[in-house]
Amino acid sequence: MESWRARRLPGGAVRMRSRAPRAGWEVPLLHGQLCWMQALVRPLPEAAGHQRGPCAGGRSRACSGWRPCGALLQSLDGVLRPSECCWRAAVRGSVAVSSPPQPCRASTRSQTAGPRLLQQPTRRCSGATAPPRPARGTAPGPPRPRRAGGGAGRLARGRAMGESAAGPGPGPGLGRALAVVSGASRGFGRSLAALLAPRLAPGSALVLAARSAAALGELEGELRAACPALRLRLVPADLACEEGLRCLLAACRDAAPAAPLQHLLLVNNAASLGDVSKAFVDLTSPAEVSSYLAFNVSSALCLTAALLRAFPARRGLRRTVVNVSSLCALQPFRSWTLYCTGKAARDMMFRVLAAEEPDVRVLSYAPGPLDTQMQEEARTLSGDPELRQRFLLMKEGGTLLDCDVSAEKLLDLLLADTFESGAHVDFFDA
């Protein structure tokens, strides 16, 4: 028979340890719970309310002895009580445990014990135990698709990741969606659009916006060839002006699926580096600063607000807003006054959105140092020589990230949907 011993600790606490070699379980109790522990570790007379009954082994004996009788330890607001008898406390350093699957006969406490102590009916156990939990990492997922170059490779990887057990098709999680990506003509936005398109469920729509009509046209050919059933809308527009925002919003309304929408996904990716050759004291033109902030901050704010108003909250609709952020939102880079200011402002702006709209999932995702045209401008035009040298070494050392890799990480985050709304998540921390 499994036996238990109790030892008093400094401060009035009591610790119970199983003598069985296999167990090693401990049940620490605080001083305020000492009275109940004494009731659990010593024989209790039947007059105290404990009844004889069959235990798991079929033997009839009193519910007492040096092992926890009763539901050792069911905790309600920190209050302990003896309840069900004859099941072993499966706890490891904690007093809050779940009830046994089929507990045996229990004694009940009087109603004078207080409103927080729930009363349990009398039941008999059959000795059933909970099934063991599977070990972590024992069920590896499907192999990661091999990387292929170019837009066709991105689309192939998107299809591979979107395949479900029933065969090719969109993977779970996004549903019938209206997905909107700004800055989709090159770099990270282009990779994200190519990987996102095959993952969208039938009936979904993808709206892509950028200032370059020619680059959008090239992307359109790739997407239509790979996903002919996808409702695709391309909007060449300057989001820094009201006309561009109106065009994009009209395209979103027009492209929305006829069937009830399940997911609204907006990725605010459009951004510019600004004049990184200037130090702080060189930015003396209000027009230059206002122009930069209009495209990098005001456009993201107005687009997000207009889209959330156009598709208000309702039952069955998930709304997700992604802000493509940067390490520059958290750390200052010399000669990057405008870029750091814009990224920091956007992070706080979307934190406010998360606080005001709890039903909207908000994520600020920093994709890491990407091997893009913007990075090339940074390592050749930055006014700070140390910063230029640092970026040059990253390029020569091959430590810049491929846009496809970072875009895949973002999609994984969105599918898992475990991030805190409004949080800033970096590629290297996800």
* Digit-coded pLDDT (tens) for 236-255: 999 999 999 999 999 999 99
Lowest mean pLDDT among 103-112, 143-152, 386-395: 103-112
**Which residue has better confidence, 326 or 167?**
326
pLDDT mean across residues, the chain = 74
Q: How far apart are CA 387 and CA 336, in angstroms?
A: 10
Task: Identify any residues that bridge with 29 across adjacent strands, giving them in sequence order.
Answer: 14
Confidence of residue 155 (pLDDT cuts 50, 70, 90): low
Sketch out the chain's domains with CATH numbers. Answer: 1-40+69-125 (no CATH), 151-426 (3.40.50.720)
Q: Which one-letter DSSP state was computed for residue 316?
A: T
Q: Which one-letter DSSP state was computed for residue 78?
A: T
**Burial class, 189, CB count within 10 angstroms (exposed 0-12 / middle 13-18 / buried 19+):** buried
Of 45-49, 168-172, 316-320, highest mean pLDDT: 316-320
Asked whether residue 327 carries a pLDDT value surpassing 60, the answer given is: yes
Confidence of residue 3 (pLDDT cuts 50, 70, 90): low
Nearest residue to 84 (alpha-carbon basis) of 72, 101, 96: 72
Region at 291 (left for phi over 0; alpha for psi -120 to 50; beta for the rest)? alpha
Q: How far apart are CA 332 and CA 420, in angstroms?
A: 25
| Total count of residues recorded for the chain | 430
B/e letters for 357-375, b = 16+ CB within 10 Å, e = fewer, are: beebbbbbbbbbbbbbebb
**Burial class, 401, CB count within 10 angstroms (exposed 0-12 / middle 13-18 / buried 19+):** buried
Q: What are phi and psi of 289, to 5 degrees?
A: -65, -45
End-to-end Cα separation, the chain, in angstroms? 48
* Predicted local confidence at residue 225, as pLDDT: 86
Return the beta strands (E) in 269-391 as ranges: 318-324, 360-366
Mean pLDDT of 355-360: 97
Q: How far apart are CA 97 and CA 84, in angstroms?
A: 13
Nearest residue to 90 (alpha-carbon basis) of 72, 70, 117, 107: 72
What sign for the dihedral angle of Cα 152, 157, 158, 159?
A: positive
Whether the predicted model's global pTM rises above the 0.85 cut = no
Q: Which residue shows structure tokens 């300057």?
A: 238
Confidence of residue 33 (pLDDT cuts 50, 70, 90): very low
Asked whether residue 119 carries a pLDDT value surpassing 80, the answer given is: no
Q: What are the contacts of 324-328 at 24+ separation with CB within 8 A?
A: 324/183, 324/188, 324/189, 324/267, 324/268, 324/269, 324/271, 324/365, 324/366, 324/367, 325/364, 325/365, 325/366, 325/424, 326/366, 326/367, 327/366, 327/426
